[in-house]
Amino acid sequence: MAKAARAIIVEGDKILVMYRNKHGSEYFTLVGGQVADGETIEQGLSRELKEETGLVATGARQVFVENHAEPYNQQYIYVCEVAPHDDVAIQETSEEGYMNRLDANVHKPLWVDVASFEKLPFRTPALQAAIVYGLRKGFPTQPVDLSSTDYAALTKSQRTGLLGLPGRFLKRR
């Protein structure tokens, strides 16, 4: 079963997302991608983060997991810290850089306001709802399986119980 790693990166009042235009279908998702054979999930996360943004991860903590049908399968989502940096950009030598040059499957990393994140056309609504809740109340201290429940439909008290709050609140920079 294929595995993918995704990064939640927040700096100040901005969250990093990946804008996608996949053959005319426009949406947003998190930075990250498939873990290569022989890589740990964390190694794949670091590699994907570097390829898709130029950023270097300095810390990562898994907060969510999602299960999807082929070819996406298991998605491991981490809250990440990154080294000081300038702008974010797809690296020209990456697979995404190649696809961007073909202009058929566009990838563009963007910093968006945390306040507007929940209004984006995000690829997976349950993950988006969990991230919004995490940004407001803190991310879980243990990974939560978002595919085991309809997270978006849970009440506030159910989400609080599921996430085991009060937990570690996200430190804003």
Please give the Cα distance from 79 to 165 (Å, whole number).
16
pTM of this structure? 0.84
- For the stretch 55-108, pLDDT in tens is 999 999 999 999 887 766 899 999 999 999 999 988 878 878 677 677 778 889
Burial class of residue 140, CB neighbours in 10 A (0-12, 13-18, 19+): buried
Whether the CA torsion 57, 35, 48, 129 is positive or negative: it is negative
Of 49, 107, 42, residue with least CA distance to 82: 49
- What count of other Cβ atoms lies within 10 Å of the Cβ of residue 120? 16
- For the stretch 146-170, pLDDT in tens is 877 555 555 555 555 554 443 333 3
The domains found in the chain, sorted by start residue, are: 3-163 (3.90.79.10)
CB 53, CB 88: distance < 8 Å: yes
